[in-house]
Structure formats: C-alpha cells, structure tokens
Amino acid sequence: MTDFPQPTANRPAGGAEGSQAASGQNEMVRSLSWQGAFWVAAGVPPLVLFSIGGIAGVAGKVAFVIWIVSMTMGFLQSFTYAEMAGMFGNKSGGTSVYGATAWMRYSKLIAPLSVWCNWFAWSPVLSLGCSIAAGYILNALFPIPDITSPQVAEWIAAHANSIAATDPRVTEWLAANPAGTSADAIRALLSTDAVAALTPAIRTWEAFSIQLPALGTLHFNSTFVVGVLIMLTMYTIQKRGIGTAAGVQKVLAIVVLLPLLAAGLIPIFTGSINWSYVTNIVPPAAAYSAVDGAWNIGGWTLVLGGLYITAWSTYAFETAVCYTRELRNPKTDTFKAIFYSGLLCMLFFMLIPFAFQGVYGHEGLLAPAIADGSGIGAALGGMISSSGIVIHLFVLLMILALMMSIMTAGAGSSRTLYQGSRDGWLPKYLSKVNENGAPVGAMRQDLVFNTFLLALASDPGGYFYVLAISNVGYLMFNFLNLNAGWIHRIDSPHLDRPWKAPNVLLAFNTFLAFVNAMLLGAGAKVWGYSNALWAGLIFAAMIVPVFAYRHWVVDKGRFPREAMEDLGMDPDGDLPPGRAGILPYLALAGGVSVVLFSNWFFVPA
C-alpha cells in the first residue's frame, strides 16, 4: 500500500465537505494544520507545575536531573510514535490507538488494554488541574490569613484573656512540647484560634464526604464546586470543535509560556542560581527529608519513584498526534506536530526544574505550599522579582496554565475514547460527534469520570493518590506502544510510512519499554500508597468486561470494517495470524517479570 486507505461508504473523505458520513452521522472535520495540533499540545509544558514539588520532595537534589533524563526518554520514544501515527491518517485518538492495532493479531484483549490505559492516565489531568486551579482561585478570592499578618495580631490582642493557664488545651500542648512554658502554649493556641476565626467559611465548607474502602474519601467541598465550574467551562469551549480549542490554546500559550520561560531564564542571567543547590547530587535519606542520603537501594528507589511520576508529564507531548483524523495533511503534519511539540517540552521540562531548584534549593522546595502546588505561582514570580504585583501576576498565570493543561488533556483523552469506540474496543456511544466535529459522547464520559476524581482529589492526600494510580496506566501504555513499533514493522511492512524511525532508534526505544516497566514496578509505591500499583492494575483490568460485551455481544466477534481496512486487511475477513510468532508474547512475559522483580527488589529509603 502506498498511501493512506481511501475513504469508503462508511468513512468520509478528508476535507470539510466530508464532515457528514453517508449515513448522515456527524464526523470529524479535517480543519487542523500541524501548527494547530502543536498549539493544542502546548498545554503539556505546564504539567511540570503539577508535580515539581512532589518530585523535589521524593528525589531531593537529584530532582532536576530526573526531569532532564525523563524528558530525554520521552523525546526519543516519540520517534517510534511518530512513525506509527503516520501510518494511520484516518484515525484519531493518538499513539495508543495506532500502537494497539499491532497487538490485535496476538490477543484481542491487549489492544483495548493499551487504549484504556492511555485514557485513564490522561483523563485525570482534568480533575487534578481543576483541583489546583480551584485552590488558586479560592486563595485569591478568600485568602486564609497568614499567622504573622496584622489582622491575626489584632485578633490575638482582642482575645488575649480567652485562654487561661489551666485550660486543658494548654496542658495538652505542654505534653506535646515539654520544653515550652504556659505562656508559649497560650501564644501558640491564640495564633491557631486567630487563623481559624479569620479564615473565610467557604474555605472550610463541605457539604458532605463519602468514605470509599481501599480507595479514599470523596470530598464535596468548595474546591470541588469551583473545580466543576472550571471543567464545565473547558467542556463548553471544546464542544465548538478542535479549531476553536486550538485558537484558545494559542492565545493561552503566548500569555502563559513566555512568562514561564522568563522565570526559567532570568535567574540564570542574573546570577540568582546557587550552584551548591544543583551540585553534590545525591538522593535524600528518605522521602521529604532535607538530609542527604546515599546511592544505595533506598536512594535509587526514590530516584526511580521520581522518574515514575515525571513520565506522566514529560512523555505527554505525544498527544500532538491525537488529531491525525482532523489534520489537513496527515502525511506530513503528524511528524511535524509531535517533533516540534517535543522540542518545546524539552525546553521547559529541563529549564524550569533546574532554575526552581537552583533558586530555592532542596529545603526550599520542601515547603508545604510547594508540595501541594498552592504556592508554586508565587514562587515562580519570586524568581523574577520581589514585587507583589509580579508575584500576583504569576498566580493568575498559574490558573491560565492549568486551564491550558486541562484543555490539552480533554481534547486528547476524548479522542482516544472516540477512536476506541470506532475501532470496536469501547462502547458505541463514545463515537458520537456533534456538528462541529467534536466527540461529545467521549467528552461527556470524561466529564462524568473526572467529576468523581475531582471529589477524590479535593484534598492533598487524594491528589497524589490519583496521580500515582493513573500513572500505572500510562507506563503500561508506553510499554505496549514502544513494542508495537517493531511489531508493526514485522506485520505491516506494506503500510506506507511517511516518516520512518531509524532502526537503531526503534531498537533503543524497545529497550526503554523495559526501563518503563522497571519504573512501574519500583516507582508506584514510593508515593506513600503501597497499593497504588495493584489499584492501577485492577482499574486496567476493568476493560476486559467492557471490551467483551462490545466485541462478542454487540459486534458478534468481528471488528468494524474500517478497523480492518486501516491495517490493509479484508474488511469482511478474519484477523490473519501475526508474523512475529512468539516474540510479542516473550515481550509481555519479560515486561511482567521486570515489573514484579523491580517491585520486590527496590524498597524506599
């Protein structure tokens, strides 16, 4: 085959005039240039802000090196993904879809697993981003008073006699602080009471909460309400189609990324980098410890845990090829979109963590406001100027940056669901498209799923739990997809490849697949959730009944015609046996072995 599969009666031609299928159903529209896909993917660089504090806490002085290594891995892996994306000009949904087709001949269950894992890894960006953005908005409108603020001092002066030395709380405080005096206890308790009394009621309001065994607590509080409003706003914008979303992203990118770039460059040019903060690179003695550790098993485990979480951000620019079905010229635009998106991400994921650590040092990055994300905007502003105006400007930019990431994640994850439905792996309702070419069926699924996750992530503990579990799926998807590159070479040599990765790079990326398997086994448990790996695997397994019903009950054991045509197969025939023989099964067995061994061998310090 020397070109992309030609349109059939079930599939519209590749222009705007093909937006309606022969059946009268809405279809995606080819209205996007590679620059448009690039701007949609421009929401990936701000993902560094999601976990920069958490990575610093876990990995210590090694944090900025971890970001560099992870970004380099992500960039190299993208060349395998770029080759596969070019092979399927009529598909949407990104690399998980393109790679999943390689596994169809070997196991019908592996292909939907790849798509499902990619979706439940990407989709939580909506809830996590909305959770952080809601926190920034609430902090801006209803700030919690600082313990050293004048209003706190005034409250303490007015209530100085409200606590007596015989108060049971004083006795309790002294028991916890034996070196203190009654006067110390009264001052500390008055300060705590003052902050509590002056904190706006909306900051502590919660309608109700629900405890879910083995999962966490759903909090329906002010963070949840504001987060849902943000999510609905992003949903409304994306309903107008990918062209509108790309236009909004372009404006946001220019407004957000230029100041973010300045925050990374200015400290270097002004000499604000303290080189002692970025030398003598050793892991910490324990997670969130300011004490230096050693390069032993415990130290390496923390480093692998850092690489585990950074992968969720640094690999994510592969979303640039989620829009192949909407590109005007997929033959040339797919490679350009992912390549230039990768270069953009390399700049930010390498520069920002280095400058951040160089200015604040490991101890500075352990501050609670950095770890939970609420103080990152102010910290970035402080890297440029001590002016309150600049710092408040960066807090506003943080909200816009988070909205960029939410938009990117929503666009990519919904198209993964959409194409998974079109290819017969997921329920049919997910393939519904509106008159603007937006996959509204899949977008609604994302909205419902992330409303649930937002309730789970509406407190700091739940935030990193959601992140740790979702990344189980992301590394599973990357393992399967990097192996899909060589499987496609063996099984589908007849498919046109507008861009072909060098053989040595394809082989090296296969090696990186097993590196990712090691990160999965060693890293998931580093984040304080011993069952994160197993919870992620259980969630991944949920695709089995979903796919089984769609394939064997709805579709009677056959894949849709277009899924077969995209592989150059007889649309009315059966899947032919794969040419790779036992090799794909050996790769799976090897991956499982690496995960189990690394999970057993690596133990956090």
Beta-bridged to residue 284, according to DSSP, are: 292
Q: Does 242 share its domain with 179?
A: no
* pLDDT score for 20: 43
Q: What is the average per-residue pLDDT within 161-171?
A: 90
Cα 38 to Cα 404: distance, rounded to the nearest angstrom: 13
Q: Please report, for the domain that includes residue 424, its CATH number.
A: 1.20.1740.10
Q: Both 42 and 166 in a single domain?
A: no
Within-domain flag for 478: yes
Average pLDDT over residues 255-273: 92
β-partners of residue 206 are 221
Say what the pLDDT of residue 574 is.
78
Quick one: pLDDT band at residue 25, thresholds 50, 70, 90?
low
Of the listed ranges 112-116, 136-140, 194-198, 281-285, the one predicted with least confidence? 136-140
Please provide the DSSP assignment of 417-464 as one string.
HHHHHHTTSS-GGGG---TTS--HHHHHHHHHHHHHHHHHTSSHHHHH
- Are 150 and 139 contained in the same domain? no
Q: Which of 149-158, 174-183, 344-353, 563-572 has the lowest mean pLDDT?
A: 563-572
pLDDT > 70: percent of the chain: 94
Mean of pLDDT values over 95-105: 88
Q: Per-residue confidence at 442, pLDDT binned at 50, 70, 90?
A: very high
Same domain, 73 and 121: yes
Give the lowest-confidence range in 2-6, 399-403, 475-479: 2-6
How confident is the model at residue 370, as a pLDDT? 82
Query: For residue 15, is it within any domain?
Result: no
Mean pLDDT value across residues 573-595: 92
Percentage of the chain lying above the pLDDT 90 cut: 46
Pair (311, 374) in one structural domain: yes
How far is 248 from 216, CA to CA, in rounded Å? 35
Kindly report which listed range (87-96, 99-108, 382-391) carries the lowest average pLDDT score: 87-96
Would you say residue 200 has pLDDT above 50? Answer: yes
CA gap 383, 488 in Å, rounded: 47
Region of 439 please: left (phi>0), alpha (psi -120 to 50) or beta.
Answer: beta
Note whether 375 and 425 are same-domain residues: yes
Mean pLDDT over 63-78 rounds to 96
pLDDT at 457 over 80: no
Residue 456: predicted pLDDT: 83
Residue 32 has pLDDT above 90, yes or no: no
The answer as to whether 65 is a domain residue is yes
Q: Is 20 domain-assigned?
A: no
156 lies in the same domain as 87: no
**One domain, residues 153 and 269:** no
Same domain, 408 and 320: yes
Q: Where does the pLDDT of residue 42 fall: very low under 50, low under 70, confident under 90, or very high at 90 and above?
A: confident
Instruction: Kindly state whether residue 2 falls inside one of the protein's structural domains.
Output: no
- Give the amino acid at 59: A
Q: Alpha carbon of 408 to those of 126, 173, 336, 564: distances in Å?
A: 9, 48, 18, 29
pLDDT at residue number 357: 94
| Three-point CA angle 570, 576, 578, nearest 5° | 135
Beta carbons within 8 Å of 552's beta carbon, 6+ residues apart: none
The answer to whether residues 79 and 98 belong to one domain is yes
Higher pLDDT, 165 or 476: 476
Q: Looking at the domain assignment, is residue 134 inside a domain?
A: yes
Under a CB-based contact definition with an 8 Å cutoff, are residues 147 and 191 in contact?
yes
| Residue that is last in its domain, among 156, 171, 198 | 198
- Count the alpha carbons within 13 Å of 224 in the hemisphere toward its beta carbon: 22
pLDDT at 16 over 70: no
- Is residue 572 predicted with pLDDT exceeding 90? no
Of residues 479 and 129, the one with the higher pLDDT is: 479
The verdict on residue 3 lying in a domain is no
Is residue 7 scored above 90 in pLDDT?
A: no
Owning domain of residue 181: 146-198
Q: What is the pTM of this model?
A: 0.85
Lowest pLDDT segment from 68-82, 288-302, 420-434, 463-477: 463-477
117-128 per-position pLDDT tens digit: 989 888 888 888
Q: Are residues 448 and 322 in the same domain?
A: yes
Q: Where does the pLDDT of residue 491 fall: very low under 50, low under 70, confident under 90, or very high at 90 and above?
A: very high
- Mean pLDDT check: name the lowest of 303-312, 366-375, 475-484: 366-375
Work out the pLDDT band at 4, boundaries 50, 70, 90: very low
Instruction: Give per-residue pLDDT as tens, 224-256.
Output: 999 999 999 988 888 887 777 778 888 888 888
pLDDT score for 24: 43
Average pLDDT, the chain: 87
Q: Look at residue 97 and tell me whether its pLDDT is greater than 80.
A: yes
pLDDT of residue 19: 38
Confidence check: pLDDT of 521 > 80: yes
Tell me what the mean pLDDT of segment 65-70 comes to.
97
Determine, yes or no, domain membership for 83: yes
How much is the average pLDDT of 70-92? Answer: 91
Q: Which range among 47-61, 110-124, 172-186, 566-580 shows the weakest confidence by mean pLDDT?
A: 566-580
Count of domains for the chain: 2
Give pLDDT, residue 111: 87
Name the token pair of 596. Answer: 């189990």
Query: Do 454 and 369 lie in a common domain?
Result: yes
Q: Which among 315, 359, 318 has a CA at the least distance from the CA of 337?
A: 318
Q: Which of 154, 174, 198 is the last residue of a domain?
A: 198
